[in-house]
């Protein structure tokens, strides 16, 4: 199983009731504080109290500037002080209720609270106020895709590209739209355009790799390598590349060892990632027929995750292949103790007892 490639405003796109989540990617900082754009996310090394004092001072110096209230509201939302954040948005709305960004930022607060219906209403309101408001168009389109309203979403994305022909997010969501419609050719084309426009668009490279992997196209590995260059400590990309390599080792024998190297890298990044050891064991056991090394890695996976019934079963397979029937039986029984309806372990036990 591959890691989900698509992230959200947090780091993983939250699941919402009543919607089939396809996933979206949004930059945390969407734009700077110009007249019709969202305020910039700000971070401080001196802690939240110090930063909040900065926002407060700006507002004291210019109390009629609605953008300053939105700036503080965004920050308050980031630290989950939603009551005060909504008050700031309301104050900004009182100062200028005709600006799209006011409704957009209100939508962002609802989005952070996982209230997608209210967020969606605010995003739509933002583009009613300013039909060419790019952030609102993109966010609205992303939700329309989730709702399978593809024509509406495409219209919004086309409007973005009329204003900003090099907007990589618009191409990215066009690709998601095509993917949702099972139009792989156009999905790939749009993802490729997204990375041409923005060569550091990590999520688009991951999506391209996944689509190419599904087609057994070796370009998948090239896209994974590029994504690794962008985020060398991303377990997601190392894991997905490893899965691609091990699943295609029958075409290129060297892929198996490359997959093992990927899992070793994951273990260096996160030594508690038990699946990396399990998958290493799987490669050794099922592809390379090196059962002793398979046992070593399955054992490490079990140490990290004692309820890893698949690891017990797979270690049992290694023992069985090596002729250690008592050890194999013990592992099959342990797998069944954890998961009584585990058919593979039941069959393994039956093989041992039948002999």
Residue 249's pLDDT is 95
* pLDDT tens sequence across 38-87: 444 444 444 557 889 999 999 999 999 999 999 999 999 999 999 999 99
Give the per-residue pLDDT at 50. Answer: 84
DSSP state of 311: H
Distances (CA, A) of 126 to 3, 122, 182, 348: 34, 6, 30, 60
Identify whether the C-beta of residue 74 lies closer than 8 Å to the C-beta of residue 105: yes
What pLDDT, on a 0 to 100 scale, did the predictor assign at position 35? 34
Buried b (16+ CB within 10 A) or exposed e, 82-105: eeebbebbebbbebeeebbbbbbb
Global confidence as pTM: 0.81
> Could you report the average pLDDT of every consecutive run of 10 residues in the chain (355 residues)?
42 32 28 36 53 93 95 95 96 96 97 95 97 97 97 98 97 98 98 98 98 96 98 97 96 96 98 97 98 98 98 98 97 98 97 88
- Sequence-distant (≥ 6) Cβ neighbours of residue 336 within 8 angstroms: 309, 342, 345, 346, 349
Both structure tokens of 336: 């069944």
Residues of the chain by 3-state class (helix, strand, coil), percent to 5? 70, 0, 30
DSSP-derived secondary structure for 212-275: HHHTT-THHHHHHHHHHHH-TT-HHHHHHHHHHHHHTTTT-THHHHHHHHHHHHHHHH-TT-HH
Domains of the chain: 199-270 (1.25.40.10), 274-355 (1.25.40.10)
Query: CA-CA distance, 327 to 320, in Å (whole number)?
Result: 8
């Amino acid at each position: 199983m591959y890691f989900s490639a698509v992230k959200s405003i947090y780091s993983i796109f939250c699941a919402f009731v009543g919607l089939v989540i396809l996933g979206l990617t949004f930059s945390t900082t969407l734009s700077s504080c110009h007249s019709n754009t969202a305020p910039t996310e700000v971070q401080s090394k001196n802690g939240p109290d110090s930063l909040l004092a900065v926002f407060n001072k700006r507002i004291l110096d210019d109390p009629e500037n609605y953008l300053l209230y939105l700036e503080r509201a965004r920050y308050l939302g980031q630290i989950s002080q939603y009551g005060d954040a909504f008050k700031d948005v309301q104050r900004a709305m009182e100062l200028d209720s005709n600006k799209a960004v006011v409704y957009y930022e209100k939508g962002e607060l609802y989005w952070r609270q996982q209230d997608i219906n209210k967020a969606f209403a605010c995003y739509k309101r933002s583009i009613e106020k300013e039909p060419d408001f790019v952030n609102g168009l993109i966010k609205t389109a992303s939700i329309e895709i989730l709702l399978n309203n593809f024509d509406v979403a495409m219209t919004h994305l086309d409007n973005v590209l009329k204003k900003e022909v090099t907007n990589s997010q618009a191409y990215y969501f066009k690709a998601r739209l095509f993917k949702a419609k099972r139009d792989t050719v156009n999905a790939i084309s749009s993802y490729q355009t997204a990375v041409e426009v923005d060569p550091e668009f990590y999520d688009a490279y991951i999506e391209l790799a996944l689509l190419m992997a599904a087609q057994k196209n070796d370009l998948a590995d090239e896209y994974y390598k590029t994504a690794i260059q962008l985020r060398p400590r991303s377990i997601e990309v190392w894991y997905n590349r490893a899965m691609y390599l091990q699943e295609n080792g029958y075409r290129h024998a060297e892929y198996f060892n490359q997959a093992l190297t990927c899992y070793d890298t994951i273990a260096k990044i996160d030594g508690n990632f038990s699946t990396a050891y399990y998958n290493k064991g799987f490669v050794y056991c099922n592809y390379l027929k090196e059962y002793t090394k398979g046992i070593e890695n399955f054992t490490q996976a079990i140490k990290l995750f004692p309820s890893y019934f698949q690891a017990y079963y797979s270690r049992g397979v290694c023992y069985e292949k090596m002729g250690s029937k008592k050890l194999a039986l013990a592992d099959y029984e342990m797998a069944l103790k954890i998961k009584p309806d585990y058919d593979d372990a039941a069959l393994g036990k039956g093989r041992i007892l039948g002999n």
